[in-house]
Amino acid sequence: MPRKPPFKHHRFPRDTILCAVRWYLRYPLSYQDVVDLLAERGVTVDRSTVYRWVQKFGPELTKRTEKHLRRASVDWHVDETYIRVGGKWRYLWRAIDANGQMVDFRLTARRNAKAARAFLRKAIERVRLHRPVTICTDKAHAYRRVIREINHRYDPHFESIRHIDRKWRNNLIESDHAALKRLLGYRQSFRSLRTAKATLSGIETIRSIKRGHIHVKQPGVIGEIEFIASLFKTAA
């Protein structure tokens, strides 16, 4: 069954929508900033409209980019940071590989072994056969127990994942957290978990495209624009 064209029933043209969504996800802009930039180009749109575009096309961009991503390496760095969602602090669990490529992320209300277990299992299931060989974390005790459980689940007689818990070895993801926080700017408070997940999904995907973690992309911002347009070129 053919997929429903995502731009159907939208009043604005595809290129305008994709431009607004890309601006918001790539740069530390507010919805009002995007509205003002569009106004400079003769396009009048409301902030709520830009918000709805981001919520709809951020996850859609992630879905369409998935098959173009390079395969993540088998050496992972895992850590959690925090953002405000609905006025409360929530934990953002993130995993990147040795090249800085995003593997997966997950938002949870708590920071405990149960949340760590759910996140790591989700990330490993996402890469399927290309499970990590090493996972580098900080010294949080929950990780050691969870990784031991995961190893036993896949092969009780062989420790397939080696756990490295030296904090200084995890500077790569700490730096990546900082870069993400700078990009979020003052937008670090989201209305709900649903809107936070949709927005973060788009932001992480745009960062992967920008960093060249996809198979086919010309260098520079023009290459990014062309790649994103190509993902939606068959959409009406």
β-strand partners of 75: 134
73-123 pLDDT, tens digit per residue, is 999 999 999 899 988 999 999 999 999 999 999 999 988 899 999 999 999
What angle do the packed helices 220-231 and 193-210 form, to 10 degrees?
Answer: 120
Q: What is the mean pLDDT of residues 38-59?
A: 96
pLDDT at 1: 45
- Length of the chain in residues, anyone? 236
Q: How far is CA 104 from each of CA 26, 127, 167, rounded to the nearest angstrom?
A: 18, 9, 20
Q: What is the pLDDT of residues 154-208, one digit of tens each?
A: 766 556 889 998 777 788 899 999 999 988 877 767 889 999 999 999 999 999 9
pLDDT of residue 209: 95
Q: For the chain, where are the alpha helices, taking DSSP H only?
A: 14-26, 31-40, 47-65, 113-127, 141-154, 171-184, 193-210, 220-231
List C-alpha distances in Å: 65 to 62, 154, 232.
5, 29, 10
Query: Is the separation of the CB atoms in 204 and 179 below 8 Å?
Result: no
Nearest to 190 by CA among 108, 111, 83: 83
Domains in the chain: ranges and CATH: 14-69+214-231 (no CATH), 77-181 (3.30.420.10)
Residue 2 has pLDDT above 60, yes or no: no
Confidence of residue 31 (pLDDT cuts 50, 70, 90): very high
135: pLDDT strictly greater than 60: yes
Alpha-carbon separation of residue 77 from 106, 125, 152, 154, 183 (angstroms): 14, 16, 21, 20, 20
CA-based torsion, 134, 135, 139, 140: positive or negative: negative
